[in-house]
Amino acid sequence: MKKLFLLIVFFLLTVASNASAVWISTGMQFVVQNETYTVTHTMNFHTITIDDTYIIFNTTGFYITSGNPISIQLSYIHPNIVSAGNGIKVLEFYANTSGGSVLFRLSGLAVNCKYDVKRNGVTISSVSTNGTGYLSFTSSTWGSSQLFNLFQNGSGSSDTLPPAISSITLEHSSIIDTIVGYGWENISCTVTDNVAVQVVFLRVRFPDKTVSNISMKHKIGTPLYYVNITLTKFGNYSYSIWTCDTSGNSIRSSSFLYSKPPNWDINNDGICTVFDYVLISNRYGLTGIKGWIREDVDNDGKIDYFDLSLVASQYGNRW
C-alpha cells in the first residue's frame, strides 16, 4: 500500500515566496508506511521530499525497514553534513518501536567516509558510506525511546564543486490554455556533476506569489531533467532550477519569466475589450477539435454564444 501524506505518493512542501525555508513545528507528523516522523522542536529545511519508501529532509534521507510501527523524532541535522569535519555530530534522532530488528539506511552523507553510530551515548557501529553517501546499521534494543547520534570519523569527500545547470527551456502547447487537458508546459534543463547528481527541483513562483518546489524527472542515460505540467493560474510566473549533488554541493539557476493569459483575453493584450468580441465574431459558427483555437473559450469545439458570454462576463478586466 502506498504511504499516505495528504493522499499523495510523492509530495514537495510549498512555501510562501517570502520564506527562506520550510518551518516544521512539533505538532506536524509525516507518515511513511509504518514510520511516523516528528521533530523535538521547531526546525527548518529548504525542501522535504516523501516517496514510497523514504523521506528526505534537504538532502538527508531516511530509508527505514521495521517490522512494527516506529516513531522517529528528529532533534538535529547538520546544515552541511558533507562538510562537517572529523569528530562533528551530523545527525541526532530518537526512535521507538515495540521490538524487532530495525534497519536504518541514511543518505546525503559525505561519500566514502566513516561514521560512528551511538545509541544512548554508546557506540554501536562504525560504518562507512558508499560512493553516493549512503550508510546502514541495525538496532534491536527497544522497550523505550532510543537516542541515536551520528558522528563523522575521519575525512569526508573532497568534492566541493556544485552541479552545472544549462539549457533551461520552456515549451508550451500551441494554444495556450489554463485548463488541464488543453494547455501544457514542459520545462527542461541539463544538469551535470563531476561525481553524481542527487536531486533536481523546479522552483516556480506563481502569480499569487506562492512558491512551489517540483521534483524534476530524469531521462535515464542522459543529463536531461524535465517537468510536464499545466499551469492553471493566469498571470506572470517566474521559475528557476535548484540542484544538489551527492556531496551536498548545491546551486540555483537564474530566474526566468513566463506570462500566461486567461482564456478570455483572446488577443493576449492584457485587457478584455471589444477586440476580443470581434475575434470571436469573426469565427462564429465554426467547429473543430475542442480547444483548437483561442476563440473556443469554453473548449467545447464550437464558436458560439457561450464563448461570447464568457468574454462578456470579463469585459474591462485586466491581468
- Retrieve residue 231's grid coordinates: 499551469
Q: Does 16 score more than 80 pLDDT?
A: no
Query: Do 122 and 192 share a domain, yes or no?
Result: no
Query: Do 29 and 145 share a domain, yes or no?
Result: yes
Task: Tell me which of 233 and 10 has the higher pLDDT.
Answer: 233
Q: Does 39 score more than 70 pLDDT?
A: yes
Average pLDDT over residues 279-289: 94
Query: Do 18 and 147 share a domain, yes or no?
Result: yes
Structural domain includes residue 158: no
User: What is the structure's pLDDT at 14?
Assistant: 38
The HSE-up count of residue 96 (CA atoms within 13 Å, CB side) is: 9
Query: Do 144 and 16 share a domain, yes or no?
Result: yes
Average pLDDT over residues 251-276: 94
pTM over cut 0.85: no
The Cα 224–Cα 126 span in angstroms is 37
Structural domain includes residue 96: yes
**Bridge partner residues of 258 (DSSP):** 237
The domain in which residue 17 lies consists of 11-152
User: What is the structure's pLDDT at 51?
Assistant: 84
Domain stops at, among 132, 152, 172: 152
Query: Do 46 and 134 share a domain, yes or no?
Result: yes
Band (158; pLDDT cuts 50, 70, 90): low
Band (276; pLDDT cuts 50, 70, 90): very high
- Retrieve residue 97's grid coordinates: 518501536
User: What is the structure's pLDDT at 155?
Assistant: 66
Q: Does 20 score more than 60 pLDDT?
A: no
**For residue 1, what are the contacts with CB-CB under 8 A and spacing of at least 6?**
none
The Cα 85–Cα 60 span in angstroms is 16
Structural domain includes residue 1: no
142-to-66, 89, 197, 316 alpha-carbon distances in Å:
12, 23, 37, 68
Identify whether the C-beta of residue 309 lies closer than 8 Å to the C-beta of residue 191. no
Identify whether the C-beta of residue 262 lies closer than 8 Å to the C-beta of residue 276. no
**Bridge partner residues of 141 (DSSP):** none
Instruction: Look at the chain and report how many structural domains it folds into.
Output: 3
Identify whether the C-beta of residue 271 lies closer than 8 Å to the C-beta of residue 277. no
User: What is the structure's pLDDT at 157?
Assistant: 59
Give SS3 for 30. Answer: strand
269-to-30, 83, 132, 266, 298 alpha-carbon distances in Å:
45, 51, 50, 8, 19
- Retrieve residue 245's grid coordinates: 549533488
23-to-14, 28, 42, 47, 215 alpha-carbon distances in Å:
11, 10, 7, 10, 19
Domain stops at, among 131, 152, 173: 152
Query: Do 148 and 226 share a domain, yes or no?
Result: no
Give SS3 for 275. Answer: helix
Query: Do 172 and 129 share a domain, yes or no?
Result: no
Query: Do 247 and 181 share a domain, yes or no?
Result: yes
Average pLDDT over residues 132-156: 91
